[in-house]
Every structure is written in structure tokens, then in C-alpha cells.
Structure 1
């Protein structure tokens, strides 16, 4: 990837997100070197310490960035197997990723040696979602063969399997004791006790009525993101077109429907036959759990929603601010430790707050 230099500032860790959320600006961008036919970034992930970012691309390359240095430090090709959903383990030199060709195995890559430590095989179709436990080496995959598979990084063999209808998204809660599985075709989110995953879900959130009200033309499809807030109180169900659902993570009731997007992010909602580039959703929580940062669809701004803000009639929530950007935001990920986030489409962009906070926008 060729680097595009923009003004750089050090990442700040002392200020509250609420003090600086209006002032984020793109500060560095890294794009593919093929200007005539640029490739797409398909996933982003920060390591636990927030010091590194990994980007997977449809050019079948894994790119690693040093956050403090503000530069790309490693590019690892995966031409044989392809790469998607690249995720750091709890070790910042190991990356787990899904395959896009040859077979459907998951692969654990050692960045130091640029060699594979282990393959996780036995799946019969592509992996569409991947979540690592925040408290252990366990991880969960969802695949197009309707399987939810539980794994451990120390063993190539699956630790357990669930057969569900279109279980296309999965997320751990912050305590690592609950897993949420989103089933698109049934318009539901199932909550399982991770220690008793083979038992029935202890709670099921039915989103059919909410979809009928807010996303009628994409009901039962186009879900792109499932994420708990860091305090475990909220659950984000991102969609590709109309907006995003923010649910009470305990009751499943709608806290807000986030509006303001203008069309699609241009990415496949996990399973698609349209030929769109892969993605992982264009919205996520900030580390304090209060804000959601997301793309604006066809527009190039980045949107920020404040979940503490007063709702419009109908429980819709407008963006509290729009952050100016020159390109579409198809993927967004917040740094867990530093006041910065990254977005991507055809390039990976670092966002940092400007010096000094601006007054809130009206």
C-alpha cells in the first residue's frame, strides 16, 4: 500500500470521548498502489493494547499498522488462501483469519515468522463472522453452512457446534460469559450462556416488528454488524442501508434506531450474491459505550450518534455531528485504548482529534 501523508498528531488517552468527539479528523491514509484499479479493505481490527491495527484486503494481503508510529510496518501476502476477517488474538503478533479460496478453514498466522501456526478445518462453507473471547483463547465462527462453531486457539479441532438458521453474526459480551448470535432470516438475536452453549438460548430478541417499522424493504437481510458496548448494557445491530438498531442488551427492547445514512455502504451484508466486496459493517461503539461511529452510505462524511441524546418521535436518533471526509466509509473500528479510530474503503484512514476541542455543533 502507498502511504498518503496528512497532518499527524499523537494519539491522546487522557481526554474523554465526549470532549473530543466533534474534533476527529482524518490524519493519515494508506491506499493500494494500483491507482487504476484500487483494491478494497474488507476488515479492520485493533489488538488488545490498541498499538497495532490489522487490515485485510481483497488483494489477498494482510497489512499491519503501528498506531504510535503512524505507519504500515508489515504486509503479508495470502495469495493461496485469500484473507478476510483478520483478527488479533490476545497476542499482538498472532492473527486469526478466514479464507476466501481453496477451502473454508480458519488460519492462525504468526506475524514474526510470517508462517501459519495452525489451521482450523472442518467447515463446509465460507466463514462470515468471527469473534474472539475477551477472556480466553476461545473463539466462535459463523459460516454459510448455518453452523456456529466453537474453537480454541490451542486445538485444530472444533470444541462444539450449533446448527441454526442463518446465524450470520456473532459477538461476545464484555464479561465473555454471553454470546449473541444474529439470525437474519428469522429477524432474531439469540443469547447463550457461553459455558452452556449446547443448551437453549436463555433469551431471544425478536426484531421483526422493529424491522417492519424501520427497515421494511430489507427485512430479514442486510444485517452487517453485531456488537456489545463495552459496559455490556447495549447491543448494536448494524444494517447496510436504512440505519442501525441499538438494543437494551438485557431486555432486547429498542433504545434507538440510528438514522442519517444515505444508502448502502457498498459492501456485502455477510452473505450476498451481488458481487459486492466483503465487509464487516460500517458502524461500531466507541470504547466508552456512549457513541456510535459509522459511515454515511453513499456520502463521504462519517456520522457520530450520541446514545444519551434525546430521541426524535418514533425512537429515531439523528447524528449529533458529521465528521468531514473525502471518501466513503465502508468499515469503521474504534481503538480500545487510544482516542483514535480507523475507517476504510479503498484505503485505510487514521482519525485523531484536532488540537483543542471545538464547541458542540447545533
Structure 2
């Protein structure tokens, strides 16, 4: 993807902003608008965030069992859909901005396709016998993949309620498509490995296996085999990120599995058991993401109130660790963060949802 990003359409009283490179504005991001997700005395937590393909809408799931949709250009919440019966987690737009796919947290472990226009369910996808830990949609088709604590990875198509295929693996916790939609990566925590499959031949053995055990021994020995929260390819296909809950994030060469950098600077955990909670902790989907140009990783600072930015072109320390290039000031914890695929804006969340935009005065 090209490095030039557009800015969200400003209010009519302002002149339109020209598209800018991520490099030019990455240090200037500041919180621009905040949305409270609960009016209760005991605040609820946002558990997932996702932008639609065009970057015009954001969908958020919360542990109050509600789906919220935000209009990015208008900068406001446009819809709130309760899912009290089934619960909701890992809400994801399909390639249609009126359809949202989500996992259930109650009743059963089915996936559900929601039509936002009439607020009714279009289809259920049944088959998992335990909690779904990750959902990934193909960037090139209506296929999607789910991982579950039942030790299965299931391939689906949005248009059919029947599984298109299934893999039996040890703790397949996280899954991601590469940008070409031809490779799927599956992260298995208990085996400290990431398996790469040819999506067209998923029933064949993985064509590559990345062993992260040596890296865990070096960088995260106290959480070996657990606390993985995010699996994501960079848009240029060069890097694969394995995000963790506490110590930092692994940046791997997407072809060879070698360590390119270990991102440090977090101050503890964001307080989320991700991606599935078996404790009193709220759910989460990881607190880090790539910028659209693949050069930067933006993430939470753990239990401190900054947002961190790492520059993958910056020189590493001798042990391949990489410190943040900048800390973006914030007044709250960042437990989730997503970069808009089309516009230069970020969304982060913990108890509230925050929209970030570049502040011209901070550049």
C-alpha cells in the first residue's frame, strides 16, 4: 500500500486537507475526540475495534454486550446494537460496510453475521465447541477463518453457513492473512510457533514453521507459551508481528521467520486477557498495529498513559531490541489500537473510544 494517506474529511467550516505521508505526521497524532461507551457507574470495556475497507466506519464491541458503529467523517456514533442474548466479541466488518461478523460469548460458540441496516442476523456459523479466539477475513474474497479453544481452525465463506474446511491444531490462538490473501499464518502458543499455510492448499502440511521458543527465552522468558495477543502482517508483506500482553512485540521476517526487532518500552500489561478471558479481566484483541505503510508500529504503553510509536527503519540495539521513537501523550490507557486503512487517523480504546488525528501544531 502506498505511504500517502488521506485525512478524514474535516467539518464544512475548514478547508480540506491534502493527503500526507505517514512519516510526515506520525509524531503529531493527538487525541481529537473521545466517546464514552457506558453511562453506568461501573464502566464497561471496549473489547475489539475494526475499520471497514474504505475507512469510513468503525465498529466496536464491548463487554456490555453491545456493538457500536461510528461514522469517521462525521466523527460521531451512528448506531448501537445490543447482543444481550449471545454476547459479542471480535466484531469485524465484511467487505460490505453494512455487515458485521462477530463471535459469541454466551449460549454457544457460533459466529454471527449481523446486518446493520435492519439490525437482524443474516447467518449463523456453527461448529466450534469452545470460545473463538480470533477471526480473520480474507483481503481478497469473502472467505474468513476462525480459531478456537477447541483446538480447531475453521475456514468459512460469508455466503454459506457450512464450514469450507477445518484444521486440527494444538492451541491455534491467532490467525492472519497476508496482504495477497494467499498465505495464512496461525500462531500456536503452547508450541511457541507460527505455522504458514498456502490458503489454496490449507489441507496440506504448513510450508513453513517459525519457532519462537528461542526468542521467548531471550525476550519474554516469564511468559513463555502464553500472553500472545496479536498476529498481523504488514501491508507490504515484509513483516509479521506477534504482539504480546506484557513485555513487548516480536517483529519477524515474514518469509524466513527470523527476528527483525523486539519492540520494548511497554510499562506492564494493558490489563486485558486477550484474546479470550477465563478470568475477571476484560477481553481484548491486542494493543498494537502496523501503520498502513508498514514502517511503524503503534501500540499501548501498558499501564502508563502514553501511546508508543516504533520506527522499523530505526537502528536496533545489539540484541535486536527497538525502543519507541516517540511517545504520544494521552490521558488514559490504550488497550486497543487500530490505524484507519484509508485516512490518517487512529482509534484507540480502553473504557472509552478515542479518535486520534495529526495536530498541525505538533509537527
TM-score normalised by L of structure 2 = 0.95
1:345 aligns with 2:345: no
1:205-220 alignment runs, 5 A limit? 205-220=210-225
Aligned-pair distance for 1:34? 2.5
Partner of 1:290: 295
Work out the CA distance in 2 between the residues paired with 1:150 and 1:239.
25
**Compared with structure 1, are the counterparts of its residues 212 and 64 closer, same or farther at alpha carbon in structure 2 (3 Å cutoff)?**
same
1:133 aligns with 2:142: no
Partner of 1:182: 187
Q: 1:193 aligns with which of 198, 202, 205?
A: 198
Equivalent pairs, count: 352
Q: 1:117 aligns with which of 119, 122, 133?
A: 122
Unaligned runs of 5+ in 2: 1-9
Partner of 1:323: 328
Partner of 1:60: 65
CA contact (8 A) 2:37 2:353 kept: no
Partner of 1:49: 54
Aligned-pair distance for 1:122? 1.5
Aligned-pair distance for 1:270? 2.4
SS at match of 2:304: coil
Partner of 1:29: 34
Partner of 1:173: 178
Work out the CA distance in 2 between the residues paired with 1:275 and 1:146.
23
Work out the CA distance in 2 between the residues paired with 1:10 and 1:265.
38
Work out the CA distance in 2 between the residues paired with 1:65 and 1:271.
25
Partner of 2:160: 155
Aligned-pair distance for 1:265? 1.1
**Compared with structure 1, are the counterparts of its residues 229 and 148 closer, same or farther at alpha carbon in structure 2 (3 Å cutoff)?**
same
Aligned-pair distance for 1:274? 2.6
Aligned-pair distance for 1:275? 1.9
**Compared with structure 1, are the counterparts of its residues 65 and 11 closer, same or farther at alpha carbon in structure 2 (3 Å cutoff)?**
farther
TM-score normalised by L of structure 1 = 0.95
Cα deviation per residue 1:174-217 (whole Å; 9 max; x = unaligned)? 00000000000000000000000000000000000000000000
SS at match of 1:210: helix
Q: 1:255 aligns with which of 254, 260, 264?
A: 260
Work out the CA distance in 2 between the residues paired with 1:323 and 1:118.
41
CA contact (8 A) 1:11 1:68 kept: no
Work out the CA distance in 1 between the residues paired with 2:201 and 2:342.
31
Partner of 1:104: 109
1:268 aligns with 2:306: no
Aligned-pair distance for 1:36? 1.6
CA contact (8 A) 2:276 2:284 kept: no
Work out the CA distance in 2 between the residues paired with 1:350 and 1:78.
24
**Compared with structure 1, are the counterparts of its residues 190 and 16 closer, same or farther at alpha carbon in structure 2 (3 Å cutoff)?**
same
Work out the CA distance in 1 between the residues paired with 2:225 and 2:15.
43
Partner of 1:4: none
Work out the CA distance in 2 between the residues paired with 1:313 and 1:328.
30
Work out the CA distance in 2 between the residues paired with 1:326 and 1:284.
20
Cα deviation per residue 1:162-183 (whole Å; 9 max; x = unaligned)? 0000000000000000000000
